[in-house]
Amino acid sequence: RKEVEQDPGPFNVPEGATVAFNCTYSNSASQSFFWYRQDCRKEPKLLMSVYSSGNEDGRFTAQLNRASQYISLLIRDSKLSDSATYLCAVNMAGYALNFGKGTSLLVTP
């Protein structure tokens, strides 16, 4: 069951670059969408929720496209500290989060 799919990468980008990740989901009844960040061997931590109208938090912008069933994450002005794996997560209300396998980002000097 591949309900949530992400390009595993790795995405290697120079500092200051803009990078975008997409995540597709198969269940049209999905209601909640999130991006998590996971550093090597650490627990996933919520980066941001994704709202229908799109939302921005500093250098990070999340978008939801229900018609095409994907969410996206845009990182502007990449920092070395942005290097991590980014997991998208999708759920139907009251049920478990389904996670993508993650997209690996490496920001280089």
Please report, as ranges, the residues that interact with other proteins according to CB under 8 A. Answer: 1, 31-32, 34, 41-46, 49, 87, 89, 91, 93-94, 96-97, 99-102
CB of 17 to other proteins, least distance (A): 25
**DSSP H or E segment with residue 34:** strand 32-38
Q: Cα(49)–Cα(103) distance, rounded to whole angstroms?
A: 17
Nearest distance in Å: CB 85, other proteins? 10
Q: In this complex, which beta carbon is closest to other proteins, that of residue 12 or of residue 31?
A: 31
Q: Least distance (Å) from other proteins to the CB of residue 49? A: 5
Strands 45-49 and 32-38: antiparallel
Nearer Cβ to other proteins (76/101): 101
Long-range Cβ contacts of 91-94 (<8 Å, 24+ apart): 91/30, 91/31, 91/32, 92/27, 92/29, 92/30, 92/31, 92/32, 93/31, 93/32
Compare residues 80 and 92 and give the one whose CB is closer to other proteins: 92
Per-residue tokens: 76: 């502007």
Question: Residue 84 CB, nearest distance to other proteins (Å)?
Answer: 14
